[in-house]
Amino acid sequence: MFFYFQAPRADGQGRRHLWRYVGAGTRDVVENRFEIARLIACPPEEPRYVGQQDVFVLQDKAIDHVLPAEREAEARAAAPTTVGPIQQTVTETVKECIRRRTVDRDKAKTCLSFLGQPMGKALHARLGALYEGWGAKKDDKELVEAIHTMSEQFGKEKSSRGPTRRLTREDLELICYEYLSC
């Protein structure tokens, strides 16, 4: 049986769309949308089937799967992210620049915040080139200015909103359900 729920986003902006497929015989729950789309796809002329399953039992099973999965996703999002080795190296260098008082402290703090965010290979390569350039000249101000510019271009703003609201059973709005017969 297929269930489609909507719920408010944790930050209050918009709605989430939650799909679940519950196997009537096994009670296994599938949450992968591509797999569910494959399971529920049928031609328009295919007749509808109304099964003998207890919809409410299967709906409870789907909800009991959604809530812990959402809590786990919240925990993963709140967990500290790992940073690449070049980020760690440059972070320590910027901290040393602050200790030496050779750079603007506020800009350096912005750089440290930026360096603590996850980055892709392209930004790692740019950081590596900046660090190599700094190694040749030892110009602290130039290094911090360049990282500050990168943070303005590529930095992710921290959410200034208050704590997010946890998803509850009452938040889930059942949009539709469908029996599937294979």
Q: Any idea which residue has 């509850």 for tokens?
A: 168
Taking residues 102-120, report their average pLDDT. Answer: 91
179 pLDDT above the threshold of 90: no
- Mean of the per-residue pLDDT values of the chain: 86
SS3 letters for the chain? CEEEEEEECCCCCCEEEEEEEECCCCCCEECCHHHHHHHHCCCCCCCCCCCCCCHHHHHHHHHHHHHHHHHHHHHHHHCCCCCCHHHHHHHHHHHHHHHHCCCCHHHHHHHHHHHCCCCCHHHHHHHHHHHHHHHHHCCHHHHHHHHHHHHHHHCCCCCCCCCCCCCCHHHCEEEEEECCCC
pLDDT per residue as tens digits for the range 130-171: 999 998 889 999 999 999 999 999 887 654 445 567 889 999
Rounded Cα gap, residues 149 and 83, in angstroms: 19
Taking residues 100-114, report their average pLDDT. Answer: 93
DSSP reduced 3-state for 20: strand
Q: How confident is the model at residue 55 (pLDDT cuts 50, 70, 90)?
A: confident
3 pLDDT above the threshold of 90: yes
Q: How confident is the model at residue 118 (pLDDT cuts 50, 70, 90)?
A: confident
Q: How confident is the model at residue 70 (pLDDT cuts 50, 70, 90)?
A: confident
Whether this prediction's pTM lies above 0.75 is answered by no
Instruction: Give the pLDDT of residue 171.
Output: 92
Instruction: Give the pLDDT of residue 160.
Output: 46
Rounded Cα gap, residues 89 and 154, in angstroms: 19
182 pLDDT above the threshold of 80: no
Q: What percent of the chain has pLDDT over 90?
A: 51
DSSP reduced 3-state for 40: helix
Instruction: Give the pLDDT of residue 4.
Output: 94
39 pLDDT above the threshold of 70: yes
